[in-house]
Structure 1
Amino acid sequence: MITARNVLESSYDRTLATELLEAYTEAKHNYLLGGHRLSAVEGGRFCEAAYRILEHLTKGRHTPIGVQLDTEKTARALESLNAADFPKSVRIYLPRALRVVYDIRNSRDVAHLADGIDPNLQDATLVTAVLDWVVAEFVRLSERVDADTAQRLVTELVTRKYPVVQMFGDRPRVLRADLRASDTVLVLLYHRGATPTTLGELTAWVADSMQKNLRRTVRTLDDKALVHLEGTEVLITRAGEHDVESRKLLEFDSS
């Protein structure tokens, strides 16, 4: 199965790609668990890996990890590149997006209140959104996969993942035993985002007690327009996403 990690680690310097993805994963994890300040910190680490990837992509070498990175100099060098040699995303969009995250990490006070208003949530929300876009853009620029696969990987990257679903290999498991079958299905489909899920996969992922009537459960959700069932494939609808979010099914404690 092709993943964003496969694409990035085979398209760019492997060490830098791994560093980028580790920082990305930590930033997202901290954000979803409410660690907004830590999310911004990981955003800075992410940016240093991303700047180095851009250096390596355009020069064939990069500032070694552990050596102070002059991000402003790097950004100026990227902006001065010949437009015929590198796309605008590499020269302009990515460096400027990274600058925003880097400045929040270094210039904003992510540890204290500002004028009595805590900026950590809004900062972390911006940081994680930019990180989503940057990783997705690196996937798109890799040209290692066809357009349809790249779009699927990008969509999966920007879909919010929640700690209530844990991956065991390729198998997701909902960690809330209090959910009924229909809600468990909705959470799994929400987690999958735009990736179609088969009835067979759902059957394998839910608890044994839910398997016997799973097809009926999915059809009921389809009748309510919460999912879209076509043949053996199921996708969550916008109405289904709203239902999951409004009833807080993605939280460990929904009381």
Structure 2
Amino acid sequence: MSVKFVRGELLDADLHEESVNDLIEHYRDMRFHLANENYVEAGAHVGNFCENLANIIRAETGEGVDPYIGVGNFLDSILNGNFPKNGLDYEVYTTIPRTMRVAYDLRNNRDSVHVNLEVEVNHSDTQTAVRLCTWMLAEMLRVYSDEDHLDNVAEIIEQLAAPMTPYIDSYNGNRLVMHRELGLQEELLVHLYALGTEVAAEKLTEWIVGSNGHSVKSNLGSMKKSRQVHYDDGKAKITPLGVEKAEEIVEEYFNGAIPDMERRNKQMAN
């Protein structure tokens, strides 16, 4: 998905700028955390996404944004017809809020927010909530896009509708990139990007199918020279230049939606 295109189309429609920008960033974050099996974090971003989408719609009704918006209260009001329709499409005034209700309920009914509930957060619930957010974003794009961009819009919506496959799968401490066509350096960058922290070359060797210690260390040395990684004392960590390359790889091979590195690292540290 071209995040720049989606953001641009929504902003060109004069939707509330701050809410649109935050909506896109939380969407990217939820997909990242889902792909890395961080279901609690993904669920939190589902909630933030819904808050910003609620404010976008609220502003379009003519009621303005509410910095302390409660999604549940907003949904009760709009679905009961308490906000002016202000010429809004049925999809925006009714269908998207109905969908938002399901996504937000999924997020709230598991411990993606409240950690002591009896029912654990799981992949199925989180993936469903993220998919609902994807549908809502695609619908907003369809309603508010420029007519001159219909071909691009159709392509982007098709990408949004594509199955979401995590680009790294974890099992018993092992991590496996979910693509067979990456070169060794590409796979190293994807692992390092997803982790965001330093990791031993030996561990990377265990994770990469068909690799050996010599080739992994040799490639990390080359990547250090190109300033894509820090590599000292047998441990590697991705650099900002490496992040740029990793984002290109994930975008190309995994239809990736990449969050801001600094913000994502803060989330992962919590």
TM-score bracket for the superposition, by shorter chain length: 0.5 to 0.7
Is 2:26 the partner of 1:19?
no
Q: 1:75, 1:95 within 8 Å by CA — same for their partners in 2?
A: no
Deviation per residue, 1:129-158 (Å, 9 max, x gap): 011101111110113243222111212233
Change (3 A) 1:73 1:23: closer
Report SS of the residue matched to 2:61: helix
Q: Match of 2:58, as an amino acid?
A: E
Structure 1 contact 140–150 (Cα < 8 Å) conserved: yes
TM-superposed CA distance for 1:179, in Å, is: 8.6
Q: Which of 74, 85, 99 in structure 2 is aligned with 1:97?
A: 99
Q: Deviations over 1:84-113 (max 9, x none)?
A: 932221122110111122223333333357
Asked if 1:175 is matched to 2:186, the reply is yes
Output the amino acid matched with 2:103: V
2:64 is aligned, of 54, 61, 66, to: 61
1:87 to 86, 89, 93: 89
Relative to structure 1, the CA distance from residue 189 to residue 20 in structure 2 (aligned partners, 3 Å threshold; closer, same or farther) is closer
Match of 1:10 among 12, 37, 41: 12
Is structure 2 residue 41 aligned with structure 1 residue 38?
yes
Cα deviation, residue 78, structure 1: 5.1
The 8 Å contact of residues 17 and 49 in structure 1, kept in 2 or not, is answered as yes
Q: CA deviation at 1:73?
A: 4.1
Pairwise mapping of residues 191-230 of structure 1 onto structure 2 (< 5 A)? 191=254
Q: Which residue of 2 aligns with 1:133?
A: 135
**Could you say what secondary structure the match of 2:65 adopts?**
coil
Q: CA deviation at 1:114?
A: 3.8
Q: Give distance in 2, aligned partners of 1:124 and 1:136.
A: 18
Distance in structure 2 (CA, Å) of the matches to 1:84 and 1:54: 11
TM-score, normalized by length of structure 1? Answer: 0.58
Match of 1:203 in 2: none
Mapped to 2, the partners of 1:30 and 1:188 lie a distance apart of: 16
Structure 2: unaligned runs, 5 residues or longer: 169-176, 178-183, 189-207, 211-249, 257-270
Change in CA separation of 1:70 and 1:188 when aligned onto 2, cut-off 3 Å: closer
The whole-number CA distance in structure 2 between the counterparts of 1:136 and 1:46 is 13
The 5 Å alignment of 1:157-172 reads 157-159=160-162, 160=164
Q: Equivalents in 2 of 1:129, 1:7: separation in Å?
A: 21
* CA positional deviation for 1:46: 0.5
Return the alpha-carbon distance in structure 1 between the equivalents of residues 185 and 141 of structure 2.
Answer: 28
Q: Distance in 2 between matches of 1:84 and 1:53?
A: 13
Paired residues in the alignment total 177
Q: In structure 2, what residue type is equivalent to 1:176?
A: E
CA distance in 1, matches of 2:86, 2:65: 22
The amino acid across from 2:72 in the alignment is T
Q: State the distance in 1 between where 2:25 and 2:251 align.
A: 24
- Deviation, 1:175, is 2.3
Contact 1:113 1:119 in 2 (8 A): no
- Give unmatched runs, 5+ long, in structure 1: 166-172, 181-186, 194-255
Counterpart Cα distance in 1 of 2:251 and 2:51: 34
Q: Which protein, 1 or 2, shows the higher relative CO under an 8 Å CA cutoff with sep ≥ 6?
A: 2
TM-score (norm 2): 0.55
Which residue is 2:72 aligned to?
A: 71
